[in-house]
Structure 1
Amino acid sequence: MASPALPAAERRPRAGGLTAPGRPLASLRHRDFRVLLASTMALQVGSWVQTIGQGWLVVHDLGGSATNLAVVALLRGAFLVLVSPFGGVIAGRQERRRLLMLYTAVSAVIAVLLAALVSTGRIELWMVYVLAALAGIVEALAGPIRSLLVFDSVGPDEMTNAVALNALGGNAMRVIGPAIGGALIGLIGTEGTFEVQAGCLVVSLVLTARLRRFEPELAEAKENAFVSVARGIAYVVRDRRMALIVGMAVLPSVLVYPYVSFLPLFAKDVLHEGAEAYGFLAGAVGLGSLAGGAIVAATSNRQRLGPPMMWSCLLYCLSVASFTFMRELWLAVGALVVAGVFHSIYAAFNASLMQMKAAPEFRSRVVALQTMTWGMTPFAGLLMGAMIDRWGAPHTVFWWMMAAAALTLALTLGSRELRRV
């Protein structure tokens, strides 16, 4: 599918400054990207506030275990895996702004319902499960659209810069969101986190409405959705380079990311701290990611993205492994800040390669596979949670990080295709 032509006003660069082509803020000269970035940042801060609230609700208010945390994440992830491929197909056939507004409104309703249940004392664990599943469906449909709109807003030449700035904004909210969430729990209770999330989603909805229309690609509008999904997966399988790029998205999703779901246990049982400490831990990776995003934005005109993607992923794994040895809060926060730097670099380059190296006619379906990989995390998290219940969080997470580091190193040294992209 061909990328839509940008309007003349969007194509015309300014004479100089940080937003000139090739400069660190080049993508910000595109109006639609600026609006999309603001919308995403509002969504992200609400999402992180909600993550803190939901984790504390399960572990503290409802007396849940690591396995219960894993089940909540699993239900959300299951629908990311099952629905995301179809979300990519829909995103390639329907007007994207209108769809994104609809999905954001549904997310706000879910947040309001959760806040009402908590504030009235009627919340039960099974209700958290149901609402997590609904949220997973909506995220599976909306995720590919947001990723595609980044490309639509700036075009291929500044894709890496736009991804870096998008990640930079999201990670700034990752620092702010958990801190707000932890403070809200202490001040007004868990329900406050869900109320703030709903407000952030309304702001995101209003901003999304300001985007221009992005007309769908209609080349395959009459093709059966299941056939379209199957063709997208077959393309990735037969194209070795794309298979490796997608594989590098899967590896951390399965072996590294699950640890985030268990940060409440590290705060409570390993560091012997409360909700505010949990907020600091959750925000630490985001703080480091700000530095990592700045590095990517400043170096986004590099020709080869594969090598820095691979090495930063390896260092990310090792940094999280070092976190498991920390028994003082600020040392643990420091280790996760370092992890955030390398995570941001890895994630930005991987997301860029996903869209830049995909054949145009398969781009929306490849992006949907990226969203699908996010849903794999909770499946692995269920196993990690069971192992934590038996052997403890530090030992379990450490050995998972070592396995991820070993596989990343093997791919780094053994894959010529990844070193060349």
Structure 2
Amino acid sequence: MDRPQHSSSPHPLRIANFRAYWFSRFAGTIAISAQAIIIGWQVYSLARQTMDIRQAAFLLGMIGLVQFVPLLLLTPVVGLVADSVDRRWIIRGTTALLVLNAATLGLLTWVGLLSLPFLFLAAVSVGIARAFAGPAYSALAPNLVPKESLPTAIAISSIAWQTGTIAGPSVGGVLYALHPDIAYATISVLLMLALGLIFLIGPVPQPPVQRDRRPLQRILDGFAYVRHNRLVLAAITLDLFAVLLAGATALLPIYARDILHVGASGLGVLAAGMGIGAAVTAIFFSFRPMTRNVGVKMLVSVVIFGLAILTFGISREFWLSLGALIVAGGADMVSVYVRTSLIQLHTPDAMRGRVSAVSQLTISASNELGEAESGLMASLLGPVGAVVVGGVGAITITLVWAYLFPELKRARTFDPPDALEHEPLHGVAQP
């Protein structure tokens, strides 16, 4: 059985900087999740006025694609920025952009000028903001807590994200049902709160800029580090392909409206399903951090994730569908917990921004690009066929990765190699 964190390690929430970070992420995640479910509903509803289900499903999937493209193009730059610029200011700037984006959508909805082009432009803006904020957020957390507290900090941070994911869609759905103006006003206020809390974080260590390395060389160092550290590479790519194939969240508006027939209120509940399972799992890890057989547990969790998505795909009962999503969220949280801990603890601080950018690219590829893949597959196979094929694909990918990357099965703990602390900043970690 996993042992609890050593008593000498301070709990992350006892540290003022981390508390501000945690509550900022919590408020921001509620706002972004609420806005995402509203944008999805508005896109699908507008599209269904002139399109059939499969055409509207394809357009819904394109929302994910337009968020992914900025991330793909900016990834080489944003990681370098996170390793060169004060990470707090990166988060402050991107959060301000999200405030402006939400306020603009609210205004357009209020005056009745909202259209599909405006919604897609808003999605692009979110993609740009997330491209810069993601590596900065990931690289900042290890600077706020002692090393021995980091696994618990990761779990606690995941609680903020997953709890926000639970509350966000429900809050967005309920407030939008009351009045769209109320929904967008609330989202804007939450984002402003998140922005204010980030300003409460005091000075934190910033890795020295590598003056002896040109920017392009430093960018390539991040990709080279991931490519040569097979354990980090395996953890990142397993999540990439599994969620890319089995991501079903983009199709939730279709299931809510045309398959399960539960409407906008049911959509909010379904959208919160994965977050419920993930939050419960994250809370468990915050009290009982995983310490043994971490690689095997990651592999098993991805198989369970695939089975749960498969169940959701074939279900016609609302409560069974919700239960399957809760299980999928819990299994995904295990994978996220292991992957994030391995990346943060096996990466020198001077490279965390660049490695986190590579990780974010794969996460976005699995989420946003996965939404585009789901929309395309749904337009070809129908929504049920797309989800079922994705669930089977996730299970298959896990079995293949267990064979191709035995390092995962051999990963007993999160402990990095002793040589990591003494690696040259521009060096490549050897497996």
Query: Do both share a fold (TM > 0.5)?
Result: yes
The answer (yes or no) to whether the contact 1:175–1:286 under 8 Å persists in 2 is yes
Once the 2 structures are TM-superposed, how far is the Cα of residue 285 of structure 1 from its aligned partner?
Answer: 0.7
2:420 aligns to what? none
Which residue type is aligned with residue 39 of structure 1? S
- Measured in 1, the distance between the counterparts of 2:43 and 2:190 equals 22
1:171 to 2:157 alignment: no
The answer (yes or no) to whether the contact 1:245–1:350 under 8 Å persists in 2 is yes
2:396 aligns to what? 406
- Measured in 2, the distance between the counterparts of 1:79 and 1:374 equals 14
2:330 aligns to what? 341
Count of residue pairs brought into register by the alignment: 401
Once the 2 structures are TM-superposed, how far is the Cα of residue 222 of structure 1 from its aligned partner?
Answer: 6.7
| Correspondence list, 1:2-81, <5 A | 21=7, 26-63=11-48, 65-81=56-72
The answer (yes or no) to whether the contact 2:276–2:329 under 8 Å persists in 1 is yes
Deviation per residue, 1:238-272 (Å, 9 max, x gap): 23222212212322342223x21111011111101
- Measured in 1, the distance between the counterparts of 2:402 and 2:280 equals 24
Moved more, 179-188 or 352-361: 352-361
Partner of residue 386 from structure 1, selected from 376, 382, 386: 376
Once the 2 structures are TM-superposed, how far is the Cα of residue 326 of structure 1 from its aligned partner?
Answer: 1.4
- Measured in 1, the distance between the counterparts of 2:139 and 2:239 equals 17
Say which SS state the counterpart of residue 92 (structure 1) adopts.
helix
Identify unmatched segments of 5+ residues in structure 2.
412-431
1:83 to 2:66 alignment: no
Which residue type is aligned with residue 217 of structure 2? V
The answer (yes or no) to whether the contact 2:207–2:349 under 8 Å persists in 1 is no
Partner of residue 249 from structure 2, selected from 260, 281, 304: 260
2:234 aligns to what? 244
TM-score scaled by length of structure 2: 0.88
Once the 2 structures are TM-superposed, how far is the Cα of residue 334 of structure 1 from its aligned partner?
Answer: 1.2
Q: Structure 1 residue runs of 4+, over 6 Å off?
A: none
Once the 2 structures are TM-superposed, how far is the Cα of residue 167 of structure 1 from its aligned partner?
Answer: 0.9
Which residue type is aligned with residue 166 of structure 1? S
Once the 2 structures are TM-superposed, how far is the Cα of residue 115 of structure 1 from its aligned partner?
Answer: 1.0
1:187 aligns to what? 178
TM-score scaled by length of structure 1: 0.90
Partner of residue 101 from structure 2, selected from 86, 110, 134: 110
- Measured in 1, the distance between the counterparts of 2:72 and 2:280 equals 30
Once the 2 structures are TM-superposed, how far is the Cα of residue 89 of structure 1 from its aligned partner?
Answer: 0.9
Once the 2 structures are TM-superposed, how far is the Cα of residue 360 of structure 1 from its aligned partner?
Answer: 4.0
1:275 to 2:275 alignment: no
What do you get for the CA RMSD once the two structures are aligned?
A: 2.0
Change (3 A) 1:361 1:19: closer
Identify unmatched segments of 5+ residues in structure 1.
1-17
Partner of residue 278 from structure 2, selected from 271, 283, 289: 289
Identity of aligned residues (%): 25
1:137 to 2:128 alignment: yes
1:99 aligns to what? 90
Once the 2 structures are TM-superposed, how far is the Cα of residue 420 of structure 1 from its aligned partner?
Answer: 2.3
1:120 aligns to what? 111
- Measured in 2, the distance between the counterparts of 1:212 and 1:253 equals 36
Moved more, 104-113 or 75-84: 75-84
Deviation per residue, 1:45-76 (Å, 9 max, x gap): 00111011101110114536111111111111
2:346 aligns to what? 357
Once the 2 structures are TM-superposed, how far is the Cα of residue 410 of structure 1 from its aligned partner?
Answer: 2.7
Once the 2 structures are TM-superposed, how far is the Cα of residue 208 of structure 1 from its aligned partner?
Answer: 0.5
Say which SS state the counterpart of residue 103 (structure 1) adopts.
helix
- Measured in 1, the distance between the counterparts of 2:89 and 2:325 equals 37
- Measured in 2, the distance between the counterparts of 1:223 and 1:192 equals 50
Which residue type is aligned with residue 12 of structure 2? S
- Measured in 1, the distance between the counterparts of 2:212 and 2:119 equals 38
1:397 to 2:383 alignment: no
The answer (yes or no) to whether the contact 1:91–1:144 under 8 Å persists in 2 is yes
